[in-house]
Amino acid sequence: MAQTTMQSLSFIAAEQKILNKGQIVHQIPLSNNITPKVQLADVVTEEVSTLPEGVSPSNSFSPDIVVMTERKKPVAVLQIPLFRRLNGKTERLVSYTINLEESSLATHTGQKPTFVNNSVLASGTWYKIAVRQRGIHKIDRAFIQSMGLNPAEIDPNKIRIYGNGGTVMEERVSDDQADDLIENAIWVKAAGNSFGTNDYVLFYANGPRLWTANTASQTFEHSNNYYADSSYYFISFNQPGSAKHIETIAANTAADLEINTFNDYAAIDVDSYSVSHIGKVWWSHRMNSSGSSSLTQNLNINLGAHTGPIQMEVYVGNTSDAGNNNMRLSINGEFVKNMALGATSQYSLVAVHQTNF
């Protein structure tokens, strides 16, 4: 299991190292090379009417984070905007507390594993299907026909679906991992024991991307499957025994709460380029100064019909020996933030920068 450690450090902005571009810089020792989660708390500001020459305000005090190695020990370099623009006013940071959370892997105690005698795939006829993204999926008459089967000979109540989600398995050996495929529950819309024209079966399937809730930051975090772009499920038809169905639970009382909004989340994370040409760290959109055409990247994010604030988080990997590297972030053509990338440390192949707004 993952273990976490917390650091809470309080500062007065005027007493810290401030770059010419209006960035406060902190260098905090870490226990490992994992990028920590950083939040600012107890923020005190003051309103200002003018800015120093060459300084642009950010729209938040959220820090940029770079994990580096100094004297063979990991450190987090934080750059915090000294000025922000909020509700039409320019504010200067006066004092604040940095809450830094580190994650690590606990030592595995090692327990004797147990194994099933036979896989569920050992008997019967099975069909393998690929799922590229999480969601509710539908098995209807046309889908069964596309598999070369006769829908009239298929009992929708005896469709059995097995699969374990398709996200990457933990590298740490533990007994938490299922030893065989797990049966997934289905919801059946059918009147008889064969597929009619309008009959169908629904089931939920996870894709190759894992989403987890971070209760500390009140956000959702994702990780891709390094080894596959799809998750796979196995379907059998008309096997003996009962299939697993979604249970219907009767309400005890009348509903007194109506919910018509919810928090949603999405990610643009395509594993297309590896800096080291080895390992599990991949990046999606490459920007190379040797070709000016790649210095601007447009990412299309379809938010649909939404209300309320939108939070975005950006990770950038930088490999450069020039110290004046910057990345400008814009939304719908409007500038929102500048990321000062700087030069890569001589001890690092790539410097990882993170920012949110």
Do 130 and 226 have their domain in common?
yes
Question: How confident is the model at residue 216, as a pLDDT?
Answer: 65
Average pLDDT of the chain, as a whole number: 83
Is the Cβ–Cβ distance between 245 and 186 less than 8 Å?
yes
Do 67 and 130 have their domain in common?
no
Within a domain: residue 153? yes
Reference 81, options 89, 90, 69; nearest CA is 90
d(CA 165, CA 123): 22
Q: Last residue of a domain, which of 237, 255, 271?
A: 237
The CATH number linked to 326 is 2.60.40
Do 126 and 100 have their domain in common?
no
Question: How confident is the model at residue 200, as a pLDDT?
Answer: 93
Question: How confident is the model at residue 105, as a pLDDT?
Answer: 55
Question: How confident is the model at residue 353, as a pLDDT?
Answer: 67
C-alpha to C-alpha distances, 9 to 46, 113, 146, nearest whole angstrom: 21, 43, 61
Within a domain: residue 202? yes
Do 85 and 41 have their domain in common?
yes
- Per-residue pLDDT tens for 90-145? 898 999 999 988 876 554 444 555 677 888 898 889 999 999 989 999 999 999 99
Within a domain: residue 270? no
- Percent of the chain at pLDDT above 90? 18
Do 139 and 232 have their domain in common?
yes
Do 19 and 61 have their domain in common?
yes
Buried b (16+ CB within 10 A) or exposed e, 244-255: eeeeeeeeeeee
The β-bridge relationship of strands 64-70 and 17-18 is: unpaired
Question: Between these two residues, 80 and 346, which has the higher pLDDT value?
Answer: 80
Do 99 and 135 have their domain in common?
no
Range of the domain at 76: 2-106+287-292+309-356
Local confidence band at 171 (pLDDT 50, 70, 90 cut-offs):
low
What is the pTM for the complete model shown?
A: 0.63
Do 220 and 183 have their domain in common?
yes
Reference 188, options 150, 163, 155, 156; nearest CA is 156
Total number of domains in the chain:
2
Residues making up the chain, counted from first to last: 357
Report whether pLDDT(2) > 80.
Answer: no
Do 153 and 102 have their domain in common?
no
Local confidence band at 159 (pLDDT 50, 70, 90 cut-offs):
very high
- Per-residue pLDDT tens for 266-299? 888 888 888 777 777 788 888 877 665 577 888 8
The β-bridge relationship of strands 313-318 and 17-18 is: unpaired
Question: How confident is the model at residue 327, as a pLDDT?
Answer: 83
Report whether pLDDT(324) > 90.
Answer: no
**Residue owning tokens 């040409």:** 277
Within a domain: residue 169? yes
Do 62 and 145 have their domain in common?
no
Is the Cβ–Cβ distance between 204 and 137 less than 8 Å?
yes
Reported as type and span, the H/E element at residue 204 is strand 200-205
Measured distance between the N- and C-terminal CA atoms of the chain, rounded to whole angstroms: 30
Q: Name the residue type at position 164.
A: N
Do 201 and 135 have their domain in common?
yes
Do 154 and 205 have their domain in common?
yes
**Residue owning tokens 């999405």:** 266
